[in-house]
Each structure stands twice: as structure tokens, then as C-alpha cells.
């Protein structure tokens, strides 16, 4: 019941959790490119996605509201990486004269899965996951971990060539 104090308190706490992961994400967005240049962008992205996936899945099991702030750190790191690292990897492999064209196509591959998830997750949650609100979070976490592991298959030749030159 949206008119109850408990509902209002829960909504306020979701705001605190959202602020936490957004703050972590904003700060991490400055750190990840530096870390990626010193190590490997693919490894940084994979690590962030795996940590974010584990963090997101854990939200489905945590019952203490204060403890829910811990996975927001991992989710914030994953979000920062999602918004920066794939573009950095892509830019390094594009011909400059076609950059706008390819970035536009890349954005389709960012938006289309979001729209598809918005359309299908309701029925999937209701029919396959038993309407338990924690299960979609676990499914999302598993998908992030899989995405992180698939990052190992990404070709980041520009970064690898730069690292070879530094050695």
C-alpha cells in the first residue's frame, strides 16, 4: 500500500541506495580509464562486470537495509565501466573517418537490449521466476557475470599495441 509509512520509508531507502551507487559510479568513472591504461581495459571491464554481477545478485538475498549499501559499491563500479570502457575499446579500433557511423550503430546495440529487457522481463518474472522480486536481480547478476567473462573475447588491438610499445 503506497500510502503506508513503511512503503514511503522503503522508497526513501531506495533513493539512498541509488545515490550510493551513482556516487561510486561518478568517482569510478575517473579511476577506470587510468586503471585501464596501466593494466588492460578488457581485464578492468571484466572485473567490474563480474563484481557488479555478484553484487546485483546478492541484493536478491540481503534482508538488512544497511547491508544493501555494500553491493551498491559493486553495482556502481559496474555501471561506471558499462558507461565508459566499451566506448574506449571501440574508439581504439575505429577508422577516424567512420567514427560517428560506427558509434551510432554501437549505440543501437546498447539500447535495443534495454528495450527488449523492458518488454520481456515482466512476463519472464511473472511466469518463469514466480513473481519473486529477488529472482530478476539474481538473473541480472548472472547475466553481468557472463557478460564480464565474454569480455575476454573482445579484440582490443589498439590497447595491446600501445602496451607493447611501452615495454
Q: What single DSSP character describes residue 98? A: G
| Whole-angstrom distance, CA of residue 7 vs CA of residue 13 | 10
Quick one: residue 46, left, alpha or beta (phi over 0 = left, psi -120 to 50 = alpha)? Answer: alpha
Residue 133 phi/psi, 5° resolution? -65, -15
| Whole-angstrom distance, CA of residue 166 vs CA of residue 129 | 50
Contacts for 81 with CB less than 8 Å, ≥ 6 apart = 28, 32, 44, 45, 48, 49, 52
pLDDT in tens, 45-103: 999 999 999 999 999 899 999 999 999 999 999 999 998 898 888 887 888 898 889 99
Confidence of residue 128 (pLDDT cuts 50, 70, 90): confident
Instruction: Check if the beta carbon of residue 28 is closer than 8 Å to that of residue 77.
Output: yes
| Whole-angstrom distance, CA of residue 64 vs CA of residue 135 | 17
Spatial CA neighbour of 46 closest among 164, 136, 139, 153: 153
Element (H, E) at 66: none
Whether residue 163 is predicted with pLDDT greater than 80 in this model: the reply is no
Query: So what's the pLDDT on residue 162?
Result: 59
Whether residue 129 is predicted with pLDDT greater than 90 in this model: the reply is no
Amino acid at each position: 500500500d503506497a500510502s503506508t509509512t513503511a512503503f514511503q520509508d522503503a522508497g526513501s531507502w531506495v533513493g539512498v541506495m541509488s545515490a550510493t551507487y551513482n556516487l561510486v559510479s561518478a568517482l569510478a568513472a575517473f579511476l577506470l580509464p587510468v586503471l585501464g591504461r596501466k593494466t588492460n581495459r578488457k581485464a578492468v571491464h571484466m572485473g567490474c562486470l563480474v563484481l557488479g554481477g555478484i553484487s546485483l545478485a546478492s541484493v536478491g538475498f540481503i534482508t538488512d537495509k544497511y547491508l544493501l549499501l555494500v553491493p551498491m559499491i559493486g553495482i556502481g563500479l559496474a555501471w561506471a565501466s558499462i558507461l565508459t570502457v566499451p566506448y574506449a575499446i571501440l574508439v581504439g579500433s575505429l577508422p577516424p573517418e567512420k567514427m560517428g557511423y560506427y558509434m551510432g550503430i554501437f549505440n543501437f546495440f546498447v539500447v535495443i537490449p534495454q528495450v527488449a529487457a523492458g518488454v520481456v522481463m515482466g512476463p519472464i518474472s511473472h511466469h518463469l521466476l514466480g513473481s519473486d522480486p529477488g529472482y530478476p536481480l539474481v538473473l541480472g547478476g548472472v547475466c553481468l557475470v557472463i557478460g564480464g567473462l565474454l569480455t575476454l573475447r573482445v579484440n582490443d588491438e589498439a590497447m595491446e599495441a600501445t602496451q607493447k610499445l611501452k615495454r
